[in-house]
Structure 1
Amino acid sequence: MAYHSLPDHGNDDPGARIPRRYAWVVFGLSFGLLLSDYMSRQVLNAVFPLLKQEWALSDARLGLLSGIVALMVGLLTFPLSLLADRFGRVKSLALMAGVWSLATLACGLAQQYPQMLVARFFVGVGEAAYGSVGIAVVLSVFPKDMRATLTGAFMAGGMFGSVLGMALGGAVAAHLGWRWAFAVMALFGLALALLYPIIVREKRISPPVRPDQPRIDAPPAARVPLRSLVNSRSVVGAYVGSGLQLFVGGTVIVWIPSYLNRYYAMATDVAGGVSAIIVLVSGIGMIACGMLSDRMCRNAPQHKFNLAIAYSLGSCALLSLAFALPHGTPQLVMIALGMVLAAGTSGPAGAMVANLTPLPIHGTAFATLTLANNLLGLAAGPLVTGLLADALGLAKAFQLVPLVSVMAAAVFYFAKRHYLTDVEHVGTHARGSATVMQAQT
């Protein structure tokens, strides 16, 4: 297979060896588990008003129930992804799904706030490495020129899972109570956890090397130094910029059902349905932004950062305008438009991380990206917004949140200045490693 001449393609393309039909089966099942992941995580948002009323909770305590999951994902994603890279991604993914599903079931059985908090803690433990290891599996079975599209599409599963979690959870809670909302999500996840390792096999997603051609281009993960994860300014910028931008998108997803309940007087099921539409639009935007990145940046990879900057500033402008408008249909439309761009950096950022890190540690690289996304964005956003809401009101808090996108754009601009040099360094290092290993064989 010929190598591309662009610096964006320093690593070989093992995904081209996988049968395309099986690759899409792997994508479908991995995507299904990601849906379960976010359904279990975001169903809580749909029942916020019910929990607030039943247990007399402050917004800060509600925000902690959401933030504790993202916090554990942030703290544990790196070590668990490192283990998965070395000891088998498929088995690890199935085990993770079993843990978060059982913990979600425990949420439905909780009798008081501390019990719910502990159960949500274990939801975070189970979900910690799924996003990073799952996307590494998906990228490993497709050609590399589809990376931004696949990253955006896969991560959009989080949005679609949030849609299902909030819409279905709100509907179930309205008719059967909030406990059954958690139970439904748990049963879906357990079913997929049992099915996944039966169909997705480690040997099939890692094709055997031909005896007459040792595979020297992708050294084992254990031989790649972990400093490769953070040894360039542009990859660090991709991590940080992505996390800051998700502060905005993640906050809106978590708090929009409560916003609709308080300021539009919507019932739980109606608020969950309208929120689901807003999140669905965001997921569609994530896919579209990833596809646009692949199309526009095929011959100019540095433009990925230009698009990330544009998505960040565009979402800031739209959401700032939205939350300055009076409550009503125009405001909801403007929120939806802002959310089209709010998560648009996920595809370009994921592609940049893949291009800037060696292939054998992509699972760990995406764990590092997940760490930044959760600590800087998905954990910090809901909690900080809850604190602001207690002090200023939720409407005022939402007016301040979009300003974080300006910080994200600034970080992406810094990273852009070093991208081409850094990605060429990764390619040089990969070729050097291959030469050493060939000499040893």
Structure 2
Amino acid sequence: MQSSNSSIPNWRKHTTLVLLALVYVFSFIDRNVIAIVLEPIKQEFGASDTLMGLLTGLAFAVLYAGLSLPLGRMADNGANRRNMVAICCGVWSFATMACGMAQQFWQMMLARMTVAVGEAGGMAPSVSMVSDLYPPHRRSLAMSAFMLGPHIGLLAAMVLGGWIAQEYGWRSVFIWFGAPGILLAGLLLLLGKEPGHGVFDKHKGDKDSRPFMTQLNGIIRVQGFGWIAMGCALAGMAGYGYGIWAPTFMVRNYDMSLAHAGISFGVAGGIFAAVGSIFAGIYCDKLANKDARWQVWMPMIGIVLSLPMGIAFLMWPADAIWMLGDLVVPHAILFAAGFSFFASWWPSLSYAAVSHIMTSRQRATGAAALNLFLTLFGAGLGPMLTGTLSDLFGETDGLKFALIVTLSFLLLSAWCYWRAATPYTQRMANLEGNTPQTSTDSGDAAEPEMNTQGAAG
């Protein structure tokens, strides 16, 4: 039974949430800031585009996605999650600074891979901690606050990172962005609070000593998880493809400089996505308290509303512009802002949904499994698919039509969330009744609507 004071918000809980959110901000910056300085790194080391693609994508994504699963299991099985996140933050921050000190390409590759190793232990334990800091009826808002990290990180990386590189060189970008993470790691150790596992759960779950693959199989077969994970994977393909290539589209379509396009897209994307994430968290908590299905309906609605905004951004006439002095501001940037607002709903609400349907001993592994789908499909396939389609469609409007095709994956994503509603509410009812399905928790049986072989069938 939870303590009488466990549900009372206090400065220590709020401080922990803020520190975890800041750690996530710098996690997102440190993994993505390399994109801003790709060209000077390539020129200095004389690397090919293939090697640069390996450095920025595959070398990071495979290590990050693979290691996050065992580290998530460690967090679920009793490790101090605050200490895990702090140590991992220190590791990836030192590795980020090492990227700026590399003198040869292999050193840069090794430092980049170490960033992935460190960050693999940051996301899943943090999601698990946030879920235990606040009661279920406040969890979506808390998760939305935590998930501001990518939106703030995008803004900082594109705007501040470009300025640092221009004024002080590409090596300074890594050193400037790596150093604050070391300070944050220390502050989290000193001021952060490990809330304990499952303090708000009726069914806390026992420490899981089964083989890792058996436990992971049980996580994947939890009712509703498969559909949510596939929804995230498909939305991630659209989102990462759009996010990586939209600034380049603006350069080509509006004849902008990369800095101009980066600032315009960064401001529209970062600020409106942050507002959308908080808006979704507040209203989802209110609606889901009345009907649990809103936890998956609301991200579905956000995805559906974001699609026409994204297409309008791509198709709006290039000569429709405002002039602010010498600054060109396309009318289409309003649709980019609208897309960011609605597309920001699904990430935080999906992680909150998964935290609801997992026991306290499954949450970190469940978040890591969800992150595996999002990283491998989204970050791994989305930008590559968009680039390949752009080459196939030709130079004139190839990128525009490639982005439209990539965004069409949002329709399949919305369908997955729709399919998730019924098994999700069944799982919630089982947990609320303190009688979770034995076969589901043990990984011996799958739900009838969704199995590991039929994610899209």
2:124–2:368: 8 Å Cα contact kept in structure 1? yes
1:247–1:381: 8 Å Cα contact kept in structure 2? yes
- For 1:255, which of 245, 249, 268 is the aligned residue? 245
**What corresponds to 1:313 in structure 2?**
304
**Scaled by the length of structure 1, what TM-score is found?**
0.84
Measure, in 1, the Cα distance between the counterparts of 2:337 and 2:111.
32
1:356–1:426: 8 Å Cα contact kept in structure 2? yes
Measure, in 1, the Cα distance between the counterparts of 2:281 and 2:76.
25
22 and 276 in structure 1: CA distance in 2 versus 1, 3 angstrom threshold: same
Unpaired segments of 5 or more residues in structure 2? 322-329, 439-457
**What corresponds to 1:377 in structure 2?**
378
295 and 109 in structure 1: CA distance in 2 versus 1, 3 angstrom threshold: same
**What corresponds to 2:98 in structure 1?**
106
Deviation at 1:295, TM superposition (A): 2.0
406 and 113 in structure 1: CA distance in 2 versus 1, 3 angstrom threshold: farther
2:293–2:424: 8 Å Cα contact kept in structure 1? yes
**What corresponds to 1:438 in structure 2?**
none
Correspondences of 1:5-404 after superposition (within 5 Å): 16-17=6-7, 19-51=9-41, 63-68=53-58, 69-86=60-77, 87-111=79-103, 114-202=106-194, 205-206=195-196, 217-222=203-208, 226=215, 227-280=217-270, 281-327=272-318, 329-392=330-393, 393-404=398-409
271 and 111 in structure 1: CA distance in 2 versus 1, 3 angstrom threshold: farther
Measure, in 1, the Cα distance between the counterparts of 2:89 and 2:206.
26
Deviation at 1:399, TM superposition (A): 2.5
Higher relative contact order (CA 8 A, sep 6+): 1
Unpaired segments of 5 or more residues in structure 1? 2-11, 210-214, 434-441
Deviation at 1:377, TM superposition (A): 1.3
Q: Letter of the 1:249 partner, please give it.
A: G
Q: Letter of the 1:133 partner, please give it.
A: P
Deviation at 1:300, TM superposition (A): 0.7
**What corresponds to 2:417 in structure 1?**
412
**Scaled by the length of structure 2, what TM-score is found?**
0.81
53 and 336 in structure 1: CA distance in 2 versus 1, 3 angstrom threshold: farther
Measure, in 2, the Cα distance between the counterparts of 1:22 and 1:49.
43
Measure, in 1, the Cα distance between the counterparts of 2:174 and 2:102.
11
Measure, in 1, the Cα distance between the counterparts of 2:390 and 2:114.
26
RMSD of the TM alignment (CA)? 3.0
Per-residue CA distance 1:387-423 (angstroms, 9 max, x = gap) = 3345445434322221111111111121123222222
348 and 251 in structure 1: CA distance in 2 versus 1, 3 angstrom threshold: same
Point out the more displaced range, 30-39 or 85-94: 85-94
Q: Size of the alignment, in residue pairs?
A: 416
State the secondary structure of the residue aligned to 2:111. helix
Deviation at 1:114, TM superposition (A): 5.0
State the secondary structure of the residue aligned to 1:109. coil
State the secondary structure of the residue aligned to 1:232. coil
431 and 261 in structure 1: CA distance in 2 versus 1, 3 angstrom threshold: closer
58 and 427 in structure 1: CA distance in 2 versus 1, 3 angstrom threshold: farther
276 and 216 in structure 1: CA distance in 2 versus 1, 3 angstrom threshold: closer
Measure, in 2, the Cα distance between the counterparts of 1:404 and 1:13.
45
Q: Letter of the 1:255 partner, please give it.
A: W
Per-residue CA distance 1:184-226 (angstroms, 9 max, x = gap) = 1111112212222122243xx23999xxxxx985244336983
Q: Letter of the 1:177 partner, please give it.
A: G
